[in-house]
A and B are shown apart, each in its own frame.
Chain A
Amino acid sequence: MFKINKSWMLVISMALIAVMFGYALARKDDQNLTMTGSTTVLPIAQLAAEVYMDENPEVNISVRGGGSGVGIAALIDQTADIANASRAIKTKEIVTCREKGIDPVGNVIAKDGIAIVVHPDNPVKGLTIEQVRDIYEGKINKWSELGGPTKSIVVVSRDVASGTFEVFKELILEGGKTREDAVMLASNKAVATTIAQTQDAIGYIGLGYMSDAVKALEIDGVMPTNATVASGEYKVARPLYMYTNGKPKGLAKDFLDFLMSKEGQEIVEEVGFVPLQK
């Protein structure tokens, strides 16, 4: 049986650590960029990536959804270069990031309003924030209590991995919980489709998912539009983020610079969100 010489062990360990440090410092960014996370941010990321790749054919950008929480987890695991998020990062996530050598920097790329939507045939035109809260907490159960038909309200919500859900919970529910029988869906698109197909339903989606198939309600007398979100008049609004590890560098910086340029912000507006600058 061989004996391990402690001096040799030390030399080998030091050499291994030196090689590891050398490699880490010498890492170079390549031409691939991976983005994962919020389904709200997804349309912006997808269209911006397509346009950017058309202009830079040597670049490959991969865009995935999954929810804001999934995106931040991917940034922590270093399986994504950019985490798309429709909510701010949580303290617990910051601690995990920092411990693993990730310095999460939130780059605000657009603003978004969360529209409270119903079926186009629903006669109700507007609600107060308190009424929306009462609906989602199960205190209001019939449309007739709100000037609508004598029918039960079908409450549609987002799943808990969703940043939109987190923001809705903070701004509307003020920390309260959604009623037990709410239908929980995994994406903005799924919510919009369900509302379009269910006459008595109510749900909430990012402005980028608005279409003629659903009707947005006025909230506290203000209709959710790009203009009212930009002016701050519409209160159920939030910034949209792309989180990077440290200040953006290399390809991630180029892409974010593109997104913040006039051309990039036009893409934001084109897919229905509120640009940071005109």
Chain B
Amino acid sequence: MDKKINILLICMCVVLVSSSFAGESKFFGENWFRYTQERYDGKTEASEFGVERIYLRWNYVQNDNLESRITTELFSSDKDADANGAGLKIKDAYVKFKGIIPEGDICVGLQKNYFGRVYDWEYWPIEKAMGERYGVINGSRDYGVSVGGYIPKGYGTWRLEAVNGEGYKKSGGKINTELGYMADLRVIPVAGLTLAGSFIKDNVENAFGNFNKKMYYTGLLRFARGPIDVWVQYLGGEYGDPDDPTAQMGYMVFPKFSLKDLTGIDLELMGRFDFWDPNTDADDDGAYLYLVGFNYFFSREAKGAPGVMLQVVLDRSQPELSDAEPVDKIMAQLRWEWTTPAWTN
């Protein structure tokens, strides 16, 4: 608990000291309050309320060429015994240097993982993005350095990144001697059609002190027009013994449909279908994810006004093995967010 208090005190000091700097500040808050019921083989395995996330973020723009972000993540639920009432993590802590690369930046610090769509996944179906859900990357953030920017005229984005590879949740673990490398390219040839691809190469130290190979690639197609938003993603790669790695693959289809224009109600319907095979050489070891749900917006966040939404999802994780029992989950989440207007100190 002392560690948490220290982190909070440091954050408060940083914010207080910053008020004497010249620049533009913006504060952001987000809260996810979730009910989860999980059933397996006819039995209720979990039925619980929890504060899954509280994000408190401070964006500080010193000038056109220098900006920084600090985000703290708090959570409190029965799932995390170590949290002891409330858990606290630093989620973002980076500085971005702009003006060095045309239409781009160099980002240094604890920052987003630029693999697949983990970096701009908005948790519309509550569940995580593919790369994170299937353990290809260890968390949505990592410590490192990245270089990236925009393709001229808004035709897309690119980024190269070097990270520890262990994710932000495992600080204090083993000292890493092998960095992970990522590359991400997103091209938008016409409005509404996005083609994206990412690559990650990382060597991960295992319990025996040897390094496991980790190399994944992903391709994504997104089509958005009016009320329709459809994502299709393929994920594949190799993991394990460098001389005899295990091949893995999976895919996801995620359609979302807004009823706002049709009914006047700010409601989105969605579905998601995943397949993940952790070892392509083994039979019947894969799993399917079937998901249906909706997002209802009580209000949308706009310039300081809070956005409030209700998310409801039913999902089933169905093992590929035909006689295996599925795990069914119901999640209902109230999500609340706000942003202050930017102001100059």
Contacts and interface: CB of A to CB of B under 8 A. Distances in A.
A246 B326 CA distance: 46
B300 A180 contact: no
B298 interface: no
A101 B191 contact: yes
A3 B290 CA distance: 11
Contact of A177 (B63, B154, B191, B222): B63
A180 B191 contact: no
B344 A70 contact: no
Nearest to B22: A180
Interface residues of A, number: 46
Contacts of A70: 302-303
Contact of B271 (A16, A21, A92): A16
A184 B316 CA distance: 52
Main secondary structure on chain B at its contact with chain A? Answer: strand
Nearest to B325: A1
Given A4-B316, A24-B225, A70-B302, A98 B344 contact: no
A14 B172 CA distance: 48
Nearest to A4: B290
Contacts of B258: 78
A27 B191 contact: no
24 contacts: A1-B325, A1-B326, A4-B288, A4-B290, A4-B316, A9-B290, A13-B271, A20-B227, A20-B255, A20-B257, A24-B228, A67-B303, A78-B260, A91-B152, A91-B154, A100-B192, A103-B192, A159-B341, A161-B341, A175-B64, A175-B65, A177-B22, A177-B23, A182-B344
A100 B228 CA distance: 9
B222 A99 contact: yes
Contact of B192 (A16, A20, A98): A98
B343 interface: yes
Interface residues of B, number: 56
A179 B22 contact: yes
A112 B152 CA distance: 27
A95 interface: yes
Contacts of B157: 95
A61 interface: no
Interface string A61-89: 00000110010011001110000000000
Interface string B63-92: 111000000000000000000000000000
B138 interface: no
B191 A102 contact: yes
A24 B224 CA distance: 10
A24 B255 CA distance: 14
Please list the 7 inter-chain residue pairs (A to B) with the smallest Cβ-Cβ separation, ordered nearest first: A94-B154, A101-B192, A101-B224, A103-B191, A180-B22, A98-B188, A24-B226
Interface in A13-43: 13, 16-17, 20-21, 23-24, 27
Nearest to A10: B273
Given A101-B223, A180-B344, A184-B343, 17 more contacts: A1-B326, A3-B318, A20-B228, A23-B227, A23-B262, A24-B228, A27-B226, A92-B150, A97-B191, A98-B194, A100-B192, A101-B226, A159-B342, A175-B63, A175-B65, A179-B22, A180-B22
Interface string B316-328: 1010000001101
A160 interface: yes
A74 B313 CA distance: 27
B255 A77 contact: no
B158 to A, nearest CB: 11
A246 B342 CA distance: 30
Nearest to A105: B191
A159 B303 CA distance: 12
A4 B344 contact: no
B63 A27 contact: no
Contacts of A246: 191
A177 B24 CA distance: 10
A176 interface: yes
Contact of A4 (B186, B318, B325): B318
